[in-house]
Structure 1
Amino acid sequence: MISPEEILRKASRKYPDVLRDYVDCGDAPSLLFPLRMPCDLRLSEDLATQIAEVDRLRSGAKERRGFGYSVGWRRVNSPMRGKNHIPARVEFETRSDLLRLIGKQREFARFATGVDSLRLKLPEVLPWVRHRAQTYLKVCEETAGLIEVVSYLREHPRPDRFARELPLSVDTKFIERNQPTLRRWLDLCLPPEAVDETEEDFALRFGLRRKGTLVLVRMLDDALVAEAGLPCRELALPLSAVESLQVRPRCVVIVENEVSLLTLPPCPGVMALGGLGHAVTILKAVRWLNDVSLIYWGDIDPPGFVMLSNLRRSFPHVRSLLMDASTLDEWGQALSEPKPFAANSIISNLYQEELATHDRCVAEAFWIEQERFPSPEVARAVAAMVEEIGEPRGSQGGCQ
């Protein structure tokens, strides 16, 4: 027969359901309670053991303790044991009975207070809270501040101000500290025109100012250095300065890794940008990149293909370098390292061969970091692709 300790464990596992039930019902009659617990209530064959088990079950029940589980009894008449009451069901009559038994009254009260505020002021986020109730538990005491931030950005979309200078009552690091939650809530609450869905960066996504990102610029041709009026071949520039450069190279190579960019070989008419990692999408602000041929070189791994996909949202004509199946076949055995990756639920803007290579990386759990390629191979690949830049855009096949 089930023991009070086992009932406590079962009740604790029901806590997430209790949280979701409150999101659904609030102070209205619960859809969950009374909550019957599936239990093994079979009696032992030995009479003494049977009596001890029933007494133990009764001792932990609400009828003795004033809270917790209730036992429903069934009267039986046995020729051997006479008239007795045996347990027929175990249930929690109210939410309070369960919460008190598992020691979650105070935590639940904080959760309920937050949900009540959201129900009144931001009902749009309640489905998120219901689906991620235990995640919300970790931030529920911040609900008032979260509501204030979302309400401000709903009334003043894309304010072009630093998060710390918004006229809010929360502390200056509140938005930074709560970005994961705010990201989800703002996506749910703001109008579509207030959210740049192509941006993963929080500030850029919601129109906040951010510390300027420096873009590493390297001219692979001395003639371009003179044309741009630069003091040297390589330097880091603010994004706005890159946009203002008075130079139009034959081709721009965008490189994920800084060292890989700095070691690119000389190449006539070619300029290199990068060292940005996942922030590569900020280059969409450099409008003249739409008018030159673009090459992207990243790691052969799922994150590398995600960066390529994100970049291609802004520049559909960008080609990938050393990120195809033939490169994987030729260099995979010598250069790859095993590393498991989860498949991306959504990945688009890849050519068929790129998508197949991405899928192989996931299936075979390996990657090739771009800096592992020998310099002669990189020089050969860059030169070969630059020679092909006169071909029509999209000649690699349709995007998936």
Structure 2
Amino acid sequence: MITAEQIRVKAKRLFGKAIKAWLNHELDAFFPHRIPANLTPSKDLSKAIAEVESLREHSKQAIGSGYRIEWRSRRSRTHGRNDFPDAIFVDTMDDLVEMSHRVSDWKSLQMAVATLRDRQPRLDEWLRTGTNWKLILELSDVLPDLLSILDHMLLHPRPDCFARELPVPVSTKLIEQHRRRLAIWLDTLLPPDAIDFRFGHDQFEPRYGLRYARPHYLLRVLDEELQRDLGLPFDELSLPAESIDKLPASDQRVIIVENKVSLLSLPSMHRTLALGGLGNGVTQLSDISWLSECKVIYWGDLDADGFRILDRLRAVLPNVESRLMDRSIVDQFANLATKGNGDEAQAVEHLCEGELQCYHHLCANNLRIEQEHLPSEWILKALSI
């Protein structure tokens, strides 16, 4: 026969379903809720009596809250005529939260949900989706302040100031701490033209029009004549994309390299510029207008991340060509492979068939070949084409 402690365990598992019913105004249909339970008593009479009495002593009828036992009088060959437990019910939300040891969570969640629905009723559908109530519970202590930040950004979309300059009477460090959560709400509430979808949730500031310290990209000029044409006193410099856009660039080739060491190792090449230090920031290369008029080559690591960067880059520069990023290179230099990051293949939209096959092979076998490990003669030959 089920024990009182086992009933509590089942009640804990029921808590999330009850919260969903509450959020959808369906508690009247949810309670009383029957707990599936084995209520067959032991064949040993003394043990059976102890089992039944233990259930009774811990029930709502005995202690005022918790589970309720529905009894039925019946005759048994083993035990004679007695009242036996026939069903176990939880009658109310209060009973459930007490049994689940979630009284504090329930109070906090009620206050947080009331606050969210009062101040941002358009987030109610989001709140009722999946387990988003857990997120609201986690944020209950800072929710009013986050909503103040949200209110300001809705009234002043794309505010063109630094996050810490927002005139909101809360610690704007909260943006740094909760940017992904704010991003989900902003995506729901802002009009599409107030969001720059080139940037992901991890690039909060450019996505929602806040100022930020612009990332600098390492630029190398691999040709002395080209360096003179650009009017540069240096062959190596670091600039944000907007500044690189102002260079009087024309009639040159551009190689985009994932890793800094590989970029610094590139030899001289005719009429060639090299850009690196990009990572997932490759989408910001769309700010360099003259790149669309150049031959652009991308060379990255042979791993999941390398191909995802290529995919993002090709989303903004459709004509970019890849080098040393196909299955033949993986097979040729299999001795250089190490374990990858274990990522499963994700949907990518801008890889050609050969690149896509290589990407899936690397993900399926969890492989990585770092670009700087390839022989220099192979690199030079591939990038000189």
**Cα deviation code 1:81-129 (max 9, x no counterpart):** 3331111111110000010122211211111211122223323433433
Tell me if the contact between 2:345 and 2:360 (Cα under 8 Å) persists in the aligned partners. no
1:137 corresponding residue in structure 2: 137
In structure 2, give the amino acid aligned to 1:83: R
- 1:37 aligned onto 2:31: no
Q: Please give the alpha-carbon distance, in whole angstroms, between the structure 2 residues aligned to 1:267 and 1:30.
A: 75
Picking from 48, 51, 54, the partner of 2:52 is: 54
1:251 corresponding residue in structure 2: 253
Q: How many residues align?
A: 381
Percent identity between matched residues is 36
Instruction: Give me the CA root mean square deviation.
Output: 1.6
- 1:296 aligned onto 2:303: no
Tell me if the contact between 1:22 and 1:112 (Cα under 8 Å) persists in the aligned partners. no
1:379 corresponding residue in structure 2: 380
2:147 corresponding residue in structure 1: 147
2:81 corresponding residue in structure 1: 83
1:74 corresponding residue in structure 2: 72
1:223 corresponding residue in structure 2: 225
Counterpart of 2:20 in 1: which secondary structure?
A: helix
Q: Please give the alpha-carbon distance, in whole angstroms, between the structure 2 residues aligned to 1:199 and 1:364.
A: 30
**Cα deviation code 1:8-43 (max 9, x no counterpart):** 111112222222222212xx7444221211111111
2:358 corresponding residue in structure 1: 357
Task: Tell me: CA distance 1:127–1:306, structure 2 relative to 1, closer, same or farther (3 Å).
Answer: farther
Q: Please give the alpha-carbon distance, in whole angstroms, between the structure 1 residues aligned to 2:299 and 2:122.
A: 41
1:339 corresponding residue in structure 2: 340
**TM-score, normalised with respect to structure 2:** 0.94
- 1:238 aligned onto 2:236: no
Task: Tell me: CA distance 1:358–1:94, structure 2 relative to 1, closer, same or farther (3 Å).
Answer: same
Counterpart of 2:24 in 1: which secondary structure?
A: helix
2:9 corresponding residue in structure 1: 9
Tell me if the contact between 1:252 and 1:292 (Cα under 8 Å) persists in the aligned partners. yes
1:263 corresponding residue in structure 2: 265
**Could you list the runs of 5+ residues in structure 1 that have no partner in the other structure?**
385-400
Q: Please give the alpha-carbon distance, in whole angstroms, between the structure 2 residues aligned to 1:293 and 1:239.
A: 18
- TM-fit CA distance, 1:249: 4.4
Task: Tell me: CA distance 1:138–1:283, structure 2 relative to 1, closer, same or farther (3 Å).
Answer: same
Q: Please give the alpha-carbon distance, in whole angstroms, between the structure 1 residues aligned to 2:158 and 2:378.
A: 45
- TM-fit CA distance, 1:6: 0.8
Q: Please give the alpha-carbon distance, in whole angstroms, between the structure 1 residues aligned to 2:273 and 2:357.
A: 29
- Superposed counterparts of 1:13-24, under 5 Å: 13-24=13-24
Task: Tell me: CA distance 1:124–1:375, structure 2 relative to 1, closer, same or farther (3 Å).
Answer: farther
- TM-fit CA distance, 1:80: 5.4
1:280 corresponding residue in structure 2: 282
Q: Please give the alpha-carbon distance, in whole angstroms, between the structure 1 residues aligned to 2:34 and 2:354.
A: 55
Q: Please give the alpha-carbon distance, in whole angstroms, between the structure 2 residues aligned to 1:229 and 1:44.
A: 93
Tell me if the contact between 1:249 and 1:271 (Cα under 8 Å) persists in the aligned partners. no
Tell me if the contact between 1:150 and 1:189 (Cα under 8 Å) persists in the aligned partners. no
Q: Please give the alpha-carbon distance, in whole angstroms, between the structure 1 residues aligned to 2:360 and 2:326.
A: 11
- TM-fit CA distance, 1:172: 2.4
Tell me if the contact between 2:21 and 2:27 (Cα under 8 Å) persists in the aligned partners. no
Picking from 207, 210, 227, the partner of 1:208 is: 210
Greater Cα offset, 9-18 or 337-346 = 337-346
**Could you list the runs of 5+ residues in structure 2 that have no partner in the other structure?**
none
Task: Tell me: CA distance 1:41–1:305, structure 2 relative to 1, closer, same or farther (3 Å).
Answer: same
Task: Tell me: CA distance 1:266–1:86, structure 2 relative to 1, closer, same or farther (3 Å).
Answer: same
Tell me if the contact between 1:301 and 1:358 (Cα under 8 Å) persists in the aligned partners. yes
Tell me if the contact between 1:224 and 1:249 (Cα under 8 Å) persists in the aligned partners. no
**TM-score, normalised with respect to structure 1:** 0.91
Counterpart of 1:244 in 2: which secondary structure?
A: coil
Tell me if the contact between 1:198 and 1:310 (Cα under 8 Å) persists in the aligned partners. no
Runs (4+) off by over 4 Å: none
Counterpart of 1:178 in 2: which secondary structure?
A: helix
**Cα deviation code 1:59-87 (max 9, x no counterpart):** 11111111111111111133653331111
Q: Please give the alpha-carbon distance, in whole angstroms, between the structure 1 residues aligned to 2:238 and 2:124.
A: 45
- TM-fit CA distance, 1:221: 0.6
Greater Cα offset, 77-86 or 156-165 = 77-86
